[in-house]
Structures are given as structure tokens and as C-alpha cells.
Amino acid sequence: MAEKFDLFKDISDSADAAVNYVGQKHPENLWMFDIQKVYWNEVHNAKALGKKLIYMGACVPMELLYAFDCTPMLLDMLPTRLCTTPELAAKYIDIAEEHVAASMCGIDKVDLGTVLSGDIPEKPDAFIYSTVPCDSSRVAYPAIDKHLGVPSYCMDIPYRKDETGYKYIADQNKEIITFLEDLTGTKLNMDKLKEVMEISDKTMILMKKIADLRKNHPCPLPGALLFLNQLIPAMAGHPEMLKCMEAQYAVAKHIVDHKMGAVKKENFRVLWLQNMLWCNLSALHYMEKTYGAIVVMEAFGYQETDLFNGSTDIDEICYISAKKALALPMIHGSSGPVEDYLHLVDDAMEAYDIDVAMYVGHVGCKHCWAAEKILKDMVQDKYGVPMMSLDVDAVDIRYKNNDEMVAVFKDFFDTLIENKKE
Amino acid sequence: MSNEEKLIKRSNINNASIDAWKQEGKKIIGTICCHVPEEIIHAAGALPVRLRATGCTEDSSAEVWMSAFSCSFARSCLEFLMDGTYDYMDGLVGSDGCLMAGRIYDNWRYAGKDKIEGKDYYLQQMGVPRMLKDTTLPFYQRELEDMKKGLEAFTGNEITEEKLQASVDLYNETRSLIRDLYELRKSDNPVITGEESLRMTMAAMTMPKEEYNTLMKGFLEEAKTKEPIKNKRARLMIIGSALDDPEYIKVIEDQGGLVVTDATCYGSRYLWEPVEVDDTGVMASLTKSYLSRPTCPRMTNLHDELHDFILKAVEDYKVDGVIYIRMKYCEIWGGESVFFEDKFKAANIPMITLEREEIMTSSGQLAVRAGAFIEMIEGGEK
């Protein structure tokens, strides 16, 4: 009899295989793959190692979970990982569409589809999630919660990003501590939390330093690495995340010090305004290789976040975690007041000497699309920078494939080159 | 003119009551979604008007702002703001019912700059919790207090506890009258159609409640002698996304169905459960009432309450089949089926799912599907 498919094992095994391959062919790049191996190995082995596996949504304070020695699994890591195997992502999307509207965000459809599919043999020990980032997740997460039937906690994330909003989340962070104490049967270990917070702070500082290095002309790192940094909210406080950022910083610093860049000749400095194109990173390589167009920054990754700074006061820690939650660009930048999103883009335009803006918008992010004109007007009026818009599905390549995307990029950059000549 | 005719006429977004209100120099405040308590606006001496897009036939200007990927209901509301339909409004209070609702407010501030900037125009966006729990009630109350203060400053009218209580009493009377209206529909041969009922609840959204209550009382008297509707082949209930288009229901009813009840935010979910003022005060009571009523699946932990309301209505109104309407790109209602499909199957309720756009361009297709559903019910198929 065929062995039952185990999704976590499959992803974990493929991460192992990638590390083996890269280790032989490009050992200098191993740090990009090691982090994924560690993440998925831990998720797959959590139960065997006697750790509590906790599914998570956005805004949940990761540092608390690590302090309780739990293994977190950010649900949105599944679609961003699975979309590189299109038939697998498609399978889960199709399962979800048997129950929800097809227009629902593909990310949430994969989340829901994986859980409903039965391809994850064991249930997690708990599910902690929140009411952001979007209307699709507000369907998917509670539906997953209902389906799993494990202990759960849902945070309500406010629309407003101010003292009232921070305090509102901080109060719920305290409830999460109580929830985790009940779940694990242990009290919060402050020494462990301090250690985790220190790693988290160091990671965040490095992220900012790397972001600053990307301001250089030419930009030292390719656009695809911005997407790797998406792991940070999922692993803040994990030593391997810090290691990954240290390696990335060292590479960026080396390249800047030697006055080199990620591409031979940097012709266009691109700001990426919307979701990451997880299903087709090769489109970015095409832009870099063919046009010297490099994504120097993306609006959803451009963030400066508060640090714990060695705090031992639990009220203050919960408050800082709240501020960090509301600083997540994808979360509040896009789903709060439009000005939050606008300011993220404005700041990045200002800081990175951008000459091209690309709104390659995920069709699932309807609320972002409903802000696209406001962004475009600002980018064009304030900076005189052209902005292209293209609808894609960030995790489902069936919506628009590589050839279709590349054809649009080609037209866009060819036009820019023609205009430059004129 | 009968009270019914007067009510139907006042279901238009622009109507005689609006004109009269403006002629008195009084203010009108638009509201977005179900969690802006109109009582507070009323207590400030202004007329609340719930934003909708009934009869919208063109939304291309709004599409430029909100894109083709947006919910067409939200887009059409923005269109009506932009094209002058709502020029009588002196302000807008939004709530983040869903992300599309939030973007109506956002885009209006940019697209409507000429009509807003430099004018005496009130703007406020409320953040409404998406959960009912101990932590969320004080937060929501604070949002309502902010709204109260803002409206006091804007209108120059202090909202006293007494005024607020009087508004709650008035609105509770409206709620009671709307429930009476729905009570008529429980009859084996009701005297009003679903189309007419929707027009009557929508009239409450575009006229002073004092006047509405008088007209509705008059209509309820008239209804006693009204000819019952006969020869309808199936009693239907509509659930789903915002439905502010009586013509949509008419197409269904023209196929031989009779819509006897609904769970939609322009129908029964607008004003239904009374606000019970307890010793915590009027504002705290409003807070509890508005956050706890099962109005829209946006509330992540009130799905069961909403389903209970629907299932009870199916029983009370002797519903033969449920029409589940998903507005295209309305993810909140679009995904609700994942929560109720098992319950509805267990209750053996025939159901059809229809996707809708605000601008009705496919009435023929709707008629065919509604007709087939009614035939299926008649044939006893599940």
C-alpha cells in the first residue's frame, strides 16, 4: 500500500534536497537555503521532538512562542513555499474552491486547502491567529480554526495605528501569554524570552542595515533576496534567522565595499509596490538580466520596527510587540487607512532613488488594487516616476504564466528605453 | 397617496424627505456599513443616510479609482458619491465593515477633494472590532465616543444622555415596526412581496425615522385590508452580500417565487434587535448591541449566531428554499458557505448560490436560474 502523503515531510525533504544540491554546486549560497531547511525540518519534526506545534497567523508575537519553546508555523509560509510546485498549489486551491468563492485570495485558498485536504496527518497543538490582513484571511483562518478544533486564540487587530491601537493589542498579547501558559503547562521563562528578544532585535537591526546598503548605487543585492527576508516575521527570535541575516549583510557589505552591484549595469532602480511574486521569481531575474532593472526595495518589506532593548517589564514587552505587529507593512500598510500604504511607498521612493515603480498586484489583494490609483498619482505627481500595473496571482501561476508576465515587462522597459532616447 | 406609495417613493436615494430636510438647513451624514450607530447622528440633530447604490447603471469613474478587482457594490457607492447623487450629504462616517467598505471612504477623500476640501464637511472612519469579546467592547465604545465628540463639534449640538436615550427609543420603535413588516410575510399568503419589503426597509435609510415610523404605522394599518398574494410557487429567503436592488428580487419573484424573508444588511439585518439600555448607560448599551448583533459575517466569532438567525427564519417564515447571493469579490459573504454548508445540509434546506454584480446586466440569466430553482423546489428535489 502506498504511504500516505505527508505535506510537511514532503516540504522538509525538498528543503533538504535543495541544501544538498546547492551545497555541492554553489556552497557560497547555502545560507539562503539553510534557513528554509531549518524552518521546515523543525515544523516536520516538532511532534517527534515533543514540541508544541502552533499554527499562526499574522501579528502574533513570535518571540513569545519561541520563549515557550514552541514551534510556530506561520500558515502563509505554506502557499509561498508550495507555489514553486504549481501542481501542488493548484491542488489545494481547487480543494478550497469547493467551499469558498473562487475570487478569494490564493494564499488563503492554499492555507485552507492544505488543512482540508488531510495531507497534514497530525493536527497542531494550537492555532493562534488574528483578524488581519484581509477579508479572505478572515474567512480562511476561522474556517481552519473550526476544522482543526484545537485550542485557539484570535487577536483582533485594530484599524487605527496609534496609542489606543497599541494598547489594544498589548492587552491581547497578555492574553496570549496566559493561553500559552495553559497550553504548555509552564510559566513564561523570562530568561528565555530575554534571549529570544535579543536575537530578534539583532535580526531587525541587520534587516535595517541591509535595507540601507540597498540604497547604494548600484544596489548590491538582487530583488529576489527581498523575498527571502519575508521569513523574518515568521522566525523573529530564531538563531538561524539571525545567522541568515548576518550572512546576507556580509555579502551586501562585501559587494558595496568593492563597488560592485547585483547586476553588471544598473539601468533601472525599481520599487516593487505590492505583494511578492512568489510563484515566479524568475521574472525578476529576467528584468535584471535583460534590462539591468533591479528591484531595490519593495513597499511591503520596507519597515523599521521597534526593538525590545533588553526590556524585562512584561507590560512594556507586550506593548513593543504590539507596535511591531502594527508596523508589519503587509498587514497594516495595506489593510489599514490608505495613508499607511501611501507613506510606505513615499518613504521608499524618497530613500532609494527610484526611477521605476512596478505595481505587480496580486489579484487576491483587492483592497490594495482599490488603492492603486492613489499610489500611482502620488508616485507620478511627486516623483515624476512611471509606474506600471499588472495583475498577477502571486501563488497561482495558472492565472498568468511567466511568458505572459515577461511580455508585459518587455513592453514596459522597451518603452522606457525608447522614451529615454527621445 | 397611500402610506405604502409614500414609503416606496422615499426609498429613492433622492426623495421629498431629503429635500425637506435640506430646506430646513439641517445636516445629512452618510454612513457606510452596519456598525455606525445612527442613533448618535440622530441625537446630534443630523439625518443619517446609509450609503447605497440602488439603480446604479454606470461605475466607470469609480472603477478608475478602485480597479476592476473591487466589489461592484462598493465601487457603485463611490460612483454615486462622485457623480453628485449624494451631494446633499454634509459628511461621511465610514466603518471598516470589510476592506472594500474602507476603500470607499479612502477613495472618496481623494476622488472627492473638490467637494470636500475647504467645505464644512464631516469625515470620520471608525475602526470596528471583528470579534465580540471582553477586550473589544471598550475599544468599540471609545470609537463611538470619538464619533459623538466629532459630531457634537461639527453640528454644534451637544449629545446629552437624554437625547441619546430618546434616539434609541425612536430607533427601537423603527426596529419594532420593521419586525411587524416582516411579521406580515409569515402569512401563507402575504400582502407584500420581497421587492416591496426591501423598498420599505431602504426607505428607513433615507428619511427621518420620525416620519418613517408614522408612515410605516399607517402602512401596517392599510395592510390589514390589502389583497393577499396568491399563486406563488415557492417561499424563498435571501441571504448574502449587500443587496440594495429591489429589481433583483423582482426578477426572482417574476419567476413565481415569493421572497418572504432575508438575512441581508439592507433588509432584516439593518434594524432588528432592540437596543436594550441597562445600567451601564446608553453609550455602553449601544456598544454592546451593535457589536453583538449578527449582521454580517465580518464578525469572526459570530458565525453561529448568524446561522441560528437564518435557520430560525427558515422555520418561522416557512421557507422552501434559500438563495445565497455572493457579490463578486465580496470575500466575507463569498466564504461564508464554508461555515454553514454542513448545517444547511443537515437541515435539508434547498439552496442555490448566485453571483451578483451591482449593475444588473444579466437579468435573463438570473431569471433562468431562479426559475430552475423554483421548479426544483416544486419537484421536491433537494
Q: Pairing state of beta strands B321-327 and B234-240?
A: parallel
Of A99, A131, A366, the CB nearest to B100: A366
Kindly report, residue by residue over A70-100, the tens digit of the pLDDT: 999 999 999 999 999 999 999 999 999 999 9
pLDDT value for A328: 85
Q: Do B67 and A373 touch (CB under 8 A)?
A: yes
CA angle (B329 as vertex; A388, A146 as ends), nearest 5: 120
Substitution target from B33, B35, B59, B67 for chain A, most A beta carbons within 10 A: B67
A139 part of contact set with chain B, CB < 8 Å: yes
Contact predicate A392/A400, CB 8 Å = yes
3-state secondary structure of A299: coil
Q: Pick the residue from chain A with its C-alpha nearest to B64.
A: A373
Contact predicate A136/A107, CB 8 Å = yes
Percent of chain A surpassing pLDDT 90: 91
Confidence of residue A148 (pLDDT cuts 50, 70, 90): very high
Kindly report, residue by residue over B342-356, the tens digit of the pLDDT: 999 999 999 999 999
Confidence of residue A329 (pLDDT cuts 50, 70, 90): confident
Contacts with A363 from chain B: Cβ below 8 Å: 69
Q: Do B67 and A366 touch (CB under 8 A)?
A: yes
pLDDT value for A3: 78
Q: Do B139 and A367 touch (CB under 8 A)?
A: no
CA–CA dist A18, A4 (Å, integer): 23
Residue at B203 is within a domain = no
Fold type of domain A7-187: Rossmann fold (3.40.50)
CA–CA dist B328, A91 (Å, integer): 23
Mean pLDDT taken over chain A: 95
From B159's Cα to the closest Cα of chain A, the distance in A is 23
Question: Which residues lie closer than 8 Å to A407 by C-beta, 6 or more apart?
Answer: none
From B97's Cα to the closest Cα of chain A, the distance in A is 10
Span B147-173, mean pLDDT?
Answer: 98
- On whether the A192-421 domain is CATH 3.40.50.11900, my answer is yes
State ipTM: 0.96
3-state secondary structure of B299: coil
The domain that holds B333 is classified in CATH as 3.40.50.11890
Percent of chain A surpassing pLDDT 70: 99
pLDDT value for B188: 96
Of B66, B69, B335, the CB nearest to A363: B69
Substitution target from A108, A134, A135 for chain B, most B beta carbons within 10 A: A135
Span B139-151, mean pLDDT?
Answer: 98
Domain boundaries in chain A? Answer: 7-187, 192-421
Q: Do B106 and A370 touch (CB under 8 A)?
A: yes
Span B177-194, mean pLDDT?
Answer: 98
Out of A157-161, A287-291, B364-368, least confident range: A157-161
A420 has pLDDT over 90: no
Residue at B370 is within a domain = yes
Residue at B62 is within a domain = yes
Kindly report, residue by residue over A349-405, the tens digit of the pLDDT: 999 999 999 999 999 999 999 999 999 999 999 999 999 999 999 999 999 999 999
Q: Pick the residue from chain B with its C-alpha nearest to A173.
A: B135
CA–CA dist A343, B228 (Å, integer): 60
Contact predicate A71/A55, CB 8 Å = no
pLDDT value for A300: 82
Q: What cell does B231 get?
A: 399563486
Contacts with B330 from chain A: Cβ below 8 Å: 101, 135
B381 has pLDDT over 70: no
Confidence of residue B47 (pLDDT cuts 50, 70, 90): very high
Q: What are phi and psi of B84, to 5 degrees?
A: 95, -5
Q: What cell does A375 get?
A: 499610489
Residue at B211 is within a domain = no
Q: Do B74 and A140 touch (CB under 8 A)?
A: no
The closest of B262, B248, B246 to B199, measured between CA atoms, is B246
The pTM of the full predicted model, rounded to 2 decimals, is 0.97
A404 part of contact set with chain B, CB < 8 Å: no
Residues spanned by the domain of B278:
24-167+229-382
Q: Pick the residue from chain B with its C-alpha nearest to A116.
A: B338
Kindly report, residue by residue over B53-90, the tens digit of the pLDDT: 999 999 999 999 999 999 999 999 999 999 999 999 99
A168 has pLDDT over 90: yes
B382 has pLDDT over 60: no
Contacts with A138 from chain B: Cβ below 8 Å: 130, 298, 300, 331-332
| Site of grid cell 514596459 | A412
Kindly report, residue by residue over B78-121, the tens digit of the pLDDT: 999 999 999 999 999 999 889 999 999 999 999 999 999 999 99
| Number of separate domains in chain B | 1
Q: What cell does A202 get?
A: 539583532
Confidence of residue A1 (pLDDT cuts 50, 70, 90): low
A332 has pLDDT over 70: no
